[in-house]
Each structure stands twice: as C-alpha cells, then as structure tokens.
Chains A and B, each alone.
Chain A
Amino acid sequence: MALETMQIFKHLPAAKRLENSNCKKCGCPTCMAFALKLSKGNIDINSCPYTDDELREKITQANKIQQKTVIFNGVKIGGETVFSRHEKTFINPCPIFISLDPKDKDKLNRILNYEIESVGKVYKIDGIYLTSTDEKLKSDLEQKGYAVIYHEYLEALNEVKEKNILEMTKEIDFIRQKSIVERDEKYSDPIYVHLKEDNPALLCAKISAVISRCVSLIILDSFNEAVITTSFVLRQNIYTDPEKPLQVESKVYEFNNPDENAHVFLTTNFALTYFAVANELATIKNGSYLVITPSEGMSVLTAWSAEKITAKIAGDMVKSSEKLKKVKVKKIILPGLLADIKEELELEIPDWEVIIGPCEAYKLPDYVKNGY
C-alpha cells in the first residue's frame, strides 16, 4: 500500500525532535515537506541522511511492483494498482483475444471486419491467439495493429482456468489481493482466462464476471458479435476513471443536415447524456441542432442542482450561436428535468419559445413525431 505522509513523517528527525530536524539537506524546507514528497514518489528517500531502517524497509516494500504490465504489439495487459476501481481507477482495459486456426479464413475475416463505436470510442478485437504457427499471418495481423500470440507467450501470465463464476472470481480476487494489496511478487504476473464456452448466454455471463473482477486478459474460442459488443461496453464502464466523468465538448452539434426548419434541443455535456440524446437525434429524419452546455460533465439533474446549468448558461450559448440564428421557427426543447428554468430562460432569450420535452432521451423520436 502507498505510504501516507504522516506514516513517513513519524520516522523523520522533526517528528522525533532530534537535532537534525528540518536540516534542509534533502532540498525541502521541512521534514514534513520531505514526507509529503516521498509519499507521492516525487523524491528519492536517499536525499535524507537521517531516515531510520524501519522507514527504508517500508519504502522498499511500497515500491515493490504490484502487477506487471505485459505488452504484445503495443497492447497492454495488467499493470493495475488498486484492488477496487473506486480507490482510484483501473488502468488497462482487459484486452479480448480470439483464438484462431490460421486455416479458418471465415473466422479471420469476421475478426478483421469487427468494429464498433461506443461513447465516441472505436473498438476492434484487441488480439488473436493463433493455435498453430503462421509467421506470415502473425506479421500481417500485427501490421494491422492486432496483438498476436502463440501458446508459449502465455507463460508470462497467471492462468485462471475456466470454471464457474464463483470459483473464477475468487481466484482472480485472490491473485489481485496478493499482488496489488500485499505486493507479493510471486503473484505479480497479469491474469488471463481462456473461455471455451460456446453457448452465447452462458459465455456472456462468464465474460461479464471476469471483466468486472478486473481479469487482465480474456481469450475466447467462440466469436459471437452480440456477446463481444456487450462485453466491450461493459469493459468501458468498469475501466472508466471514477474521478473523470466522461465529457464532450460544449458546442452546438448538428444532426442530419439541419436547415432553417431544424429542431433545436439542449442538454449537458456529460458523455452519457450527450450520446443518449445524440443517438435519438440521429434517427430523426428532419435535421436537428443540439446545444451542449459547459456543465463540467455532469448529468442534467446533477448539473441543475450544482447550478452548472442555469437559464443564463443556456441563454448565453443560444444567443452566441451563429448556427441557431438561421433557424426560422425559434423553439428550443429542454430536457424534462429542467422544467424549472423555463421562465427564466425565456427572459434570457425572448425571441425563443422554450418547450419542456420528455425526461428520457429515448422518448424524443415519438415526442417529435407527435408535434410540439
């Protein structure tokens, strides 16, 4: 575990009121300042001539690697530093490799053709596990950006065998407890599981479980697009940094070539909010404009209670938009949850009619169809 400032400080001269207290030989003004820097890894412990053995032991322990990072053709595996994502964040989304017999051209084509986009990110299959040697194929695939491995490459990793969910997750948790929390170097290799399950529903359950428990690499025999896509989106959720809500740029977005008869919508710049609305507007044949407010990545309700979306913020964006000046019928649709700002907003932008739309994005197409 990382050492905290006070845990370090108590080993230093100033804490023990010794004569070398705050000597500045390390370059810091006080022992406390040194302790703070050391806790963050921003200074070498050897800068201080007066640390005790116990502290040096603790720092050595704290610097021990938790989980190694193994890299195949640029694809990173492992390297995690916390047991639970809420402690900080998970770092390297567990790659998904598909096993492939080089002679199976159909499966190869399906792998190469696989591509999805979710919340603004593009995902392809991360790598291929070749079941027999084919150096030419390996080289071709690597040039395309895929990681390619043979069986012997897995010796660098800890294997968790395919069993039931309870057993697999227990094993994964055990290894991560040992490596990440206790820094036991015997367990520091990243963890992989090779799933041979071919029933899509059962496979989906197994993949979901191991992704959620932060396995480092998944190898699949069965290639089912629906299951893999669901897994990629789940992986995206689990590996999201809890401290950084995904945000999109605050601006006026266009959908389906809006002209002077375009619909106009407004919501916040939380990525999920944006994409939920954007997905719906993409299906509405008549073009639309979507005003996205600078709300620090908060969802509608959160932004409203934190005053990161107000009549003024919304009004300013509408007033300053060149695109919106072209709209003939000036009606702007707000999310249902922002009903409270309607009157104030109408004062900010008097040539616009403010309409309170549905609370949920998926209701937008019907809402628009029924006229507003």
Chain B
Amino acid sequence: MANPQFAVEIPLKIKDNYPDILKKYWGNCISNPADFFCEAQKRAKEAGANYISLYLNIDDLSEKDTCAQVLKDISKIISMPFIVRGSSNKAFNEVLIPYISKYLPKDCIVAHAQDTNYVNVVRAVLGHKIVLRTPIDINLTKELNILSVDEGVNPKDILIDPDMGCVGYGLDYGFSIIERIKEAAKKGDKMLDMPIIVFTGEESYKAKETKSEDFKPSWGDIETRSLSWEIATTTSLLTAGADIAVVWNPETVKAVKKTWGNV
C-alpha cells in the first residue's frame, strides 16, 4: 500500500461498448496501432504512470498475427516498462501468449496465466514477470502460485491477480481477498508474498454507470461519474493493499497520485 504503481492500458481494438468518455480520449489515433500506442505512451508518462499496458482484446485466434505485427511495430517505440495482456478468453491465451512471446521486449509483465492454461503460458514467458489470475479464492491463488513455481517460474517473477469487480459490482470480494492475501504474506506465507495487480480500468468501464446517461439527476453528470467510478474502484483496492493498478483513464492516475502522498 505504501508505494502503489500505476499502468495506463490501451486496448488493441476499440469495441462499441467502450464508453464515449474513453473513445474521446483515444479517438484521434485509433487508425494506426503504432501511432495510437505512441500517443497513449506519451499520455501515460504525462500522467505519471509507471507502466504502459497493451490489452490484446482479440475476438478470434485468427487475429494473433495482427497482435504479433503490432508488437513488432511498437518494439522500437516502447520507452517505459511494458505490460502485455492477452484476451479475455483462456483458450485463446494458451495459443496467443506463446505465439507473441518472441516479439516481447525484455523484462515485461505478461498477463494472464490461469488454471486451465498456465503450463503453456508460463513456460513460454519464463524470464518475464507473469500475472497469475484466479477467481477470487485465496486457496486457488496459493495453489496456482505453487503450480507455477513447479513449472520453473521464479517466485520473484509472479504477480497475483485475484480478479475483482468494480464499485457496485462486487468490489467487496476483491477488496477483502486482497486484505487477506496481504495479511497472510505479513505472517510469513511465502507463497502469497507477491505483488498484487488489479485491472480496475477494464472492470470499471464495464459498469453501466460509466457509459449511460440513463440515470436520475442525483447520479450526477456522466463525465464526472465515469471518472469517479474508476477512481473509487482503484483507490479502494489500493488501500486494501493492491500494489499495481492498471487503469484506462490517465486522469485516474493523476488524481490518485496527487492525493496519495509519497508517490
């Protein structure tokens, strides 16, 4: 909790249901992925983020070549610590992540390895840091950590993603599991003593509250509400003990850094 770190994340593909407030921010450069990445990286640095994250949100494995091409195109542009995130589909990632692993710059953070795909995923990216995701269950978190170490992952390269919901959509589950993991680590459990990373951007902007104006006046204006939703989600989980927050709106990084102290 003392020194939270921030990543600004951009998706490979802008989907229809991403909120307008983000499309406005992303809008100018989406035609060319390399330009888009370049601009986003600039804004990430401006906001004071520690990482830039690229979310390979493909809908079909046939797009894996696009992913590889984009990574090749941006390899010379990446000038800050880099996170690459596979799709939301576990089966895709089992193929996608190994496929793109040779195009990664050195020392990235790679997300995610999960219960059904971790063997192929972690083996393909040994030497990088790997994010292990489990479905809000501390026993499964510990288990996947142990299994990954058995596959040759250095415990120091593991980041824990206990998964989460945003404000209003089950934030409390993620909040408490983060507190419990930190408690266990403090008591000496080495297999839970890894940094915790939370993807508050993607989760927050799934919420209807960040996209729809179909709310009564007391819910406020959409722009403030949209940003507040991500700020509240991010800040709350950081106070629970999360170490790295991956956000979509750079304004969130600015607001939390400005109020945090010591970052």
Contact = CB atoms under 8 A, between A and B. Distances in A.
B206 interface: yes
Contacts of B114: none
Size category of the A interface is 35 or more
Contact of A209 (B172, B179, B236): B236
Given A226-B221, A229-B219, A230-B229, A237 B255 contact: no
A231 B232 contact: yes
- The prevalent SS among residues of B at the interface is helix
B55 interface: no
A331 interface: no
Interface stretch (A73-81, A114-122, A146-154): A114-122
Contacts, number: 149
A108 to B, nearest CB: 15
Contacts of A169: 1, 239
B249 to A, nearest CB: 10
B169 to A, nearest CB: 6
A85 B218 contact: no
Contact of A201 (B176, B220, B228): B228
B235 A208 contact: yes
Nearest to B176: A86
B252 to A, nearest CB: 8
Given A165-B260, A200-B224, A224-B220, A230 B239 contact: no
Given A84-B179, A114-B218, A237-B167, A226 B235 contact: no
Contacts of B216: 116
A238 B172 contact: yes
Contact of B239 (A164, A165, A226, A362): A165
Given A201-B231, A231-B232, A237 B239 contact: no
Interface in B170-218: 170-172, 175-176, 179-180, 183, 206, 208-209, 214, 216-218
B113 interface: no
A238 B219 contact: no
A86 B241 CA distance: 14
A342 interface: no
Contacts of A113: 217-218
A202 to B, nearest CB: 5
A118 B215 CA distance: 11
B245 to A, nearest CB: 12
Contacts of B206: 360, 362
Interface in B100-159: none
Contacts of B231: 201, 204-205, 208, 230
A225 interface: yes
A166 B172 CA distance: 21
B228 A202 contact: no
B170 A225 contact: no
A230 B225 contact: yes
Contacts of B232: 204-205, 207-208, 230-231, 233-234
A37 B252 CA distance: 51
Interface string B1-29: 11000000000000001000000000000
A202 B239 contact: no
Contacts of B171: 234, 237-238
Nearest to B259: A205
A138 to B, nearest CB: 24
B256 interface: yes
B259 A272 contact: no
20 contacts: A84-B179, A86-B180, A116-B216, A116-B219, A163-B261, A164-B261, A200-B224, A201-B255, A204-B228, A205-B232, A206-B259, A211-B236, A212-B239, A225-B218, A226-B219, A233-B209, A234-B171, A279-B208, A362-B17, A362-B206
Those 10 A-B pairs whose CB atoms lie nearest each other, nearest first: A226-B220, A164-B261, A225-B220, A226-B224, A201-B255, A208-B235, A226-B225, A230-B228, A166-B261, A86-B176
Given A201-B255, A204-B231, A234-B236, 10 more contacts: A116-B219, A201-B251, A201-B254, A204-B232, A226-B224, A226-B228, A227-B228, A237-B170, A237-B171, A280-B208
Interface of A: 84-86, 113-116, 118-119, 163-167, 169, 200-202, 204-209, 211-213, 224-231, 233-234, 236-238, 240, 242, 272, 276, 279-280, 283, 360, 362-363
Interface of B: 1-2, 17, 165, 167-172, 175-176, 179-180, 183, 206, 208-209, 214, 216-221, 224-225, 227-229, 231-232, 235-236, 239-240, 251-252, 254-256, 258-262
